Chain A
């Protein structure tokens, strides 16, 4: 079937079985390998993407489900000219990324958190990132980076 959706602000149309995982379509058909597979069962958050602004594990979504919807991956977080967002810069500055494999998902979860909460507390940041596992940082530097973006 043909599936049409918006990916990082650009309309895309792909031919695929509707039951394929969105994760695989993004990585294999559309070259968006910034979205990672960590567990394939919705536990780790490495494959997080935003669908209409909600954080979703793309390993649990069939591509047919995103017909007509807005999908944002980590590749869509920077400005079109490549300039990193404030959050991405904060991740670098605060040492919030070590091995980097959880970073795309973590950035998207943090992005939504900052959009939805004007003054998040430490606890609400922890809660907002609880679906995204990181094994390198102990989360401390990630939380600091997110809080640094609160104006």
Chain B
């Protein structure tokens, strides 16, 4: 066993091997929609697109919760802001049709401003109090979206906004099939590559932030805010920056969602969505980018895969005993509980958290507890 792990370590540090892995991964990602489309059908390519949207959302929330340790339960509100910004400025609703390159930065910017608006009054709050205030904020945004159709019709209320312009670069609309080199690309595939590119950009930004001065400041605030302030970190600005960065990521994904879906309504932005995104990052491993991506992929694909429960029942019992759509969320909830019981730090925890959960974790906990006592 040891020789194998040693060889693995050697192999990991071999530059050429690392590049080979990256190239293989890139080729897999490039071919993924075609492979999925051929093996599982067009529906799964759509799920693939949604998976990438959720990866972007999870990466954004990871900055707020994973890096800076600010528990945000209203994160979906920023997604909603981005989506509605796009929808209202590019649909027959106001008869505005702004181009895509203007819409995305606008949505991201507005979401960022909302992030600061939420962050500023909550700077004094910690832990669960922050959680409940952000939750309230998310609900307020959703209720306003739901009701701002009277007396002046702004959001079109519960019916939502329809016929949103698809994402288009000049005359190149992503919703229509295109032909390149004799290969036909349906719209879903084009969206996949756009989402993939933006998700990779966000991964890059997250990775670069992680080890930057700002990233270390976030971690310091997460671990001990008072100590961080004593070290000369401007906690107010750094916390607001975390909120704004996370919200910007969500605003971009929201705009993409609106263009991709062509229709949005307030129902897409309820509390449950915020909770699911939080589950993604906690389940995958907070603060660790591969973990966050894994969590997002698992929690998007797994409920969809559970739709095959009907066929499974047919195969096992010869008939359908329970409606699979009723059963799948039940199993989803059970899976959440089981994964957390067996891997409380997440599936792929960050190095720091893995150390905290090492053999000396109990000693550490006792030390902290006694320190806490002397403070009082």
Q: Do A and B come from one complex?
A: no
- Residues of A at the B interface (CB closer than 8 Å) are none
